[in-house]
């Protein structure tokens, strides 16, 4: 996608950007790394968001309940325990302690050349993604569920919630329609602004599970003083950050009529 968006402009002419390290076109390498990053980091983001939203909503609605306390504990763990620790911990449990022939055994090294062609290979892909996705999703979910909870709490105390109840609306409609719509405004921004990080890859997690994606590419390029590669990647991230800021702003307008530009 990126290659199509930006690459062709450079690629058509002779002026291709060549990596110092490998002496091959930068965009070819980026295109090679993009799938695993999107699969693993992107999936973990999606999973993280999908877990975070319900947890945030329920935690706020049942504030100080057992569910809320457990949710708070888990997000605190997810937030404060670094991914290189959870990653290695999972490897020790699921790759070394669990016997090889068990269905719970998971590969500790990501096979970047694996292609999904049928059900079996799809299952393998899921297995090899399980641990890195879990590690990153825990981290993302911890972050986003906190935002969601805080935003829900802010809105649950608002007067319009009382109005909705006074109109005889069911709790489901009150919470999932009236409150959620308002609560999503700041959360959507946080989620959208986090998307460029997906493309940036998760440097540490990629290193732990050998998912040699964009994060690993950037770090080896930085270490190797591969200036064309670093410049291309950072420029790409810059564009993505600007783009997703714009998207966040547009979404903000969609969700919140008060700041809509008519």
Partner 1 sequence: MPDGALPVLDVKDLKTVFKTRGGEVHAVNDVSFSLKPGELLGVVGESGSGKSVTMMSLIGLLPSPPAEVRNGTVMFDGDDLLNVDAARMRDIRGGDIGFVFQDPMTSLNPVFTVGMQIAEPLRKHMGMNKKAARARAVELLELVGIPDAERRLDDYPHQFSGGMRQRVMIAIALACDPKVLIADEPTTALDVTIQAQILELMKELRTKLGMAVIWITHDLGVIAGIADRVIVMYGGQIVEHAPVADLFADPQHPYTQALLTTIPSVSGERSKRLTIIEGQPPILGAAPTLCPFRDRCNKRVEICERMMPQRYPVSGQHDAACFHADPGIPKEKAVGHAG
Partner 2 sequence: MTIKTALMGAVASLAFAPMAFADGHEGERGRDGELRIIYWQAVSILNPYLSSGTKDIDASALVIEPLGRYDSSGNPVPYLATEIPTVANGGVSEDLTSITWTLQEGLVWSDGTPVTSRDVQFTWEYCTAEGGGCAQAAKFEGVTSVDIVDDLTVTVNFDGPTPNPYQPFMGGQSPIIQAAQFADCLGPRAPECTDANFAPIGTGPFVVTDFRVNDVVSFAANENYRVASQPAFATVVFKGGGDATAAGRAVMETGEFDYAWNMQLAPDVIAGMAEGGVGSPVSAFGALVERIEVNLTDPSPDLDEGIRSTAEAPHPFLTDPAVREAMSIAIDRELLVEIGYGQAGRPTCNLVPAPAIYASDNTGCLTQDIDRANALLDEAGYMDTDGDGVREMADGTPLSILYQTSTNAVRQDFQALIKEWWSEIGIETELRNIDAGVFFGGDPGSPDTFQRFYADVEMYANVFDGTDPQSYLGAYLCDKAPRPDTQWQGENINRFCDPAYDALWQELTSTGDLDERGRIGAALNDMLTKDSNVIIPLVDRGRVSAHANSLGGIELNVWDSELWNIAGWHRISE
Residues numbered 160 to 189 that lie near partner 1 (CB under 8 A) are: 160, 162-170, 178, 181-182, 185
Alpha carbon distance 144, 190 (integer Å):
8
Selected range binding partner 2 among 53-61, 119-127, 196-204, 209-217, rule: CB under 8 A: 209-217
Size of the site for partner 2 (CB under 8 A): 32
57 binds partner 2 (CB under 8 A): no
Beta bridge partners, 25, equal 18
Helix axes 214-223, 227-255, angle to 10 degrees: 140
49 binds partner 2 (CB under 8 A): no
Site string for partner 1, 184-223 (x = CB under 8 A): -x--------------------------------------
Selected range binding partner 1 among 52-60, 130-138, 211-219, 252-260, rule: CB under 8 A: 252-260
Contact in structure between 173 and 240 (CB atoms under 8 Å): no
Residues numbered 110 to 169 that lie near partner 1 (CB under 8 A) are: 158-160, 162-169
Size of the chain, expressed as the number of residues it contains:
262
10 binds partner 2 (CB under 8 A): no
207 binds partner 2 (CB under 8 A): yes
Distances from the Cα of 222 to the Cα of 21, 26, 47, 154, 218, angstroms: 10, 14, 30, 43, 6
21 binds partner 2 (CB under 8 A): yes
Q: Which of 32, 68, 154, 256 binds partner 2 (CB under 8 A)?
A: 32
Q: Which of 1, 12, 14, 23 binds partner 2 (CB under 8 A)?
A: 23
Partner touching 247 among partner 1, partner 2, none, CB below 5 to 8 Å by kind:
none
List residues binding partner 1 (CB under 8 A): 158-160, 162-170, 178, 181-182, 185, 255-258
């Amino acid at each position: 996608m990126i290659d199509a968006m930006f690459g062709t402009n450079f690629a058509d002419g002779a002026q291709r950007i060549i990596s110092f390290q490998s002496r091959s076109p930068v965009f070819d390498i980026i295109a090679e790394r993009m799938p695993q990053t999107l699969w693993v980091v992107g999936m973990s983001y999606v999973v993280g968001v999908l877990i975070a939203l319900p947890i945030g909503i329920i935690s706020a609605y049942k504030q100080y309940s057992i569910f809320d306390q457990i949710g708070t504990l888990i997000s605190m763990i997810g937030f404060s325990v670094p991914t290189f620790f959870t990653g290695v911990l999972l490897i020790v449990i699921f790759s070394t302690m669990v016997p090889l022939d068990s269905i719970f055994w998971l590969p500790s090294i990501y096979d970047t050349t694996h292609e999904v062609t049928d059900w079996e290979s799809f299952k393998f892909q899921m297995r090899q993604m399980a641990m890195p996705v879990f590690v990153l999703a825990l981290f993302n979910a911890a972050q986003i569920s906190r935002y969601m909870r805080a935003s829900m709490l802010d809105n649950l105390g608002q007067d319009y919630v009382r109005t909705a109840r006074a109109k005889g609306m069911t709790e489901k409609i009150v919470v999932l329609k009236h409150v959620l719509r308002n609560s999503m405004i700041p959360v959507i921004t946080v989620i959208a602004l986090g998307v460029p990080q997906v493309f940036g890859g998760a440097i540490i997690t990629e290193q732990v599970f050998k998912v040699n994606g964009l994060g690993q590419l950037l770090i080896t390029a930085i270490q190797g003083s591969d200036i064309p590669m670093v410049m291309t990647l950072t420029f790409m991230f810059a564009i993505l950050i600007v783009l997703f800021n714009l998207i966040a702003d547009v979404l903000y307008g969609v969700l919140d009529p008060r700041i809509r530009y008519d």
